[in-house]
Amino acid sequence: MKRIAITLAMILLMYGQSAAAEDIQLLGETDVPVLASDNVQLVANVPEAAIISAAFSKDEPYMYANTLSGISVYDISDPANPKLTGKTAQAHFENEDGAFGERPDGTKFMLIGYDPVGVTPTFEDKSISTGKEIAVVDVTDPGNPYIASRIKTTTRTHTVTCLSETCEYAYTSGSVDEEGKPAFSIINLKDITKPFEEKVYASSVGTTGHDWDIDSAGIAWLTGLQGTVAYDISDPLNPVVLNSTDERGLNGTEWNSFIHHNTLRPHGDQFKNRGNGDMETDESTERAGDQIRPGEVLMVTEEDYLHPGTCEDEGSFQTWHVQKLKKTPGPDRSAIEPGTGTIEPLDSWNTKILNTDIDTQAGFICSAHYSSYHEDGFVSIGFYQQGVRILDVRNPADIKQVGYWFTGIQEVWGADWVPERDENGVITGDDSNLVYAYDPTRGLDILKVTLPDEAPEQTLPIEAPISTDMIQVPATDLSSALQEKMSHSH
């Protein structure tokens, strides 16, 4: 097995490091080992699609994939056999959470956050962006996607998130404003050919925001350096804080050794605030699954790859308990002091190396990453070089692994359940048993997953038989300069 995979080689080149040609292992040059649980099968691989993130149209059978070389549009009428219909010429990295908007008039578009770098050779502005800029890609015609506009921002655009399906407004992940205070940018996209930064707004997750997730109740969740914060965005220009993770969500704790990365909150539209005294909220209280009501579970990915080679404190997949979402008291409801909220941790889950007690990743890039929720109570999640994991979260206080897919040469950035569609190609609201795994080194892996049908208490967890000799990139093979770059990329 060669030492450096395609994506890692690209990162080396982007940061000015050298990489000898013989060190780069191209897909297909060697047999790739596969370890998979009996309930996870490879249906197909699309090697052309060096995908980092993707989005699905709700009313047409198309996937819009954010790749290392632009936006690719795929016809997924047959989800097991995607067909490329169009692509932009656009080099960028990394835009790891694809934002997508579609409007009643048929307009569809993707937002690309240029961080750390991006260039648009087919657009009138061919300058190189380096971290605070968004490109809007019109994908209305699946055979002819094109860059509609670019907009510079005050704060970082590591990720950019639409606040609604029509995406008239979007928030950046954020960093600091012109005075050096934590902030994010509010982008007006009512005219996608002329977007603009309408406002810079105070952030409550510290100087590094990472991503937003909008749940089914329309609550916006911002993750970042100092935990996770919930916002009421009914007025998108003046979001109001509703709650945040408690002190255990602060950077440097057991539950956040680097950064809170992204979230999911299933059944948010079923949430009801608990009354005072409805449940104790001190740290000694243990939660049981049957005590937790619909909409009360916040799923958080904690990213951490700052421990190459051992990763004993690498990023985990976590569940947190949300009991109240109420506007903060006082005249300033736009912010909350980090760590002062009442959202409490329930459970966390990490991958393991076989026959050890170390929660650890294979290779340098080692962390939980983007995930997707299946309505039956299961999560598919990318774990970078530890592949795809299927987790049972029906009891959120007891997360169990119930499936895995691992090849050794891989780098899975996200894993989405493919939505089911009706005869007209419209999403039904149900999830299929197919998972799209986004992997810049292998391409798109399409997996078929058979989910357990036993009750949660009767479902046994399984262990992936991954040993230390399967590690893809030992930390000792990476330059200290690259490790330093990657450690501060967020």
Identify any residues that bridge with 67 across adjacent strands, giving them in sequence order: 51, 70
CA triple 178-262-112, angle to 5 deg: 60
Strands (E), 375-442: 378-382, 388-392, 400-406, 414-421, 427-439
pLDDT at 201: 97
Cα–Cα distance, 313 to 256 (Å, whole number): 9
Pull the structure tokens for residue 36.
Answer: 């998979």
Instruction: Judge contact between 5 and 12, C-beta under 8 A.
Output: no
Contacts of 429 (CB under 8 A, 6+ apart): 419
* Backbone Cα Rg of the chain: 21
Cα–Cα distance, 89 to 92 (Å, whole number): 10
Q: Amino acid identity, residue 431?
A: D
The 10s digit of each residue's pLDDT in 267-282 is 999 999 998 777 755 5
Pairing, β 169-172 against β 160-162: antiparallel
HEC sequence for 334-362: CCCCCCCCCEEEEEEECCCCCCCCCCCCC
Contacts of 261 (CB under 8 A, 6+ apart): 210, 211, 223, 300, 301, 302, 303, 315, 367, 368, 369
**Cis preceding-peptide flag for 94 (omega within 30 of 0):** yes
CB-neighbour burial class of residue 51 (10 A; exposed 0-12, middle 13-18, buried 19+): buried
pLDDT at 33: 60
Contacts of 3 (CB under 8 A, 6+ apart): 23, 25, 473, 477
Report how far apart, in Å, the C-alpha atoms of 24 and of each of 21, 33, 331, 365, 474 are.
6, 18, 57, 17, 15
Residue holding tokens 């049957």? 290
Residue holding tokens 């809007």? 136
Helix then strand count (H, E) for the chain reads 2, 32
DSSP 25-67: --TTSSPPP-EE-TTEEEEEEETT--EEEEEE-SSSSEEEEEE
Cα–Cα distance, 97 to 119 (Å, whole number): 18
- What SS3 class is residue 11? helix
| Claim: this prediction has a pTM higher than 0.75 | yes
CA triple 56-220-286, angle to 5 deg: 110
| Ranges of the chain whose pLDDT falls below 50 | 1-31, 310-311, 358-363, 472-490
Q: Which of 52, 40, 54 is nearest to 6 (CA)?
A: 52
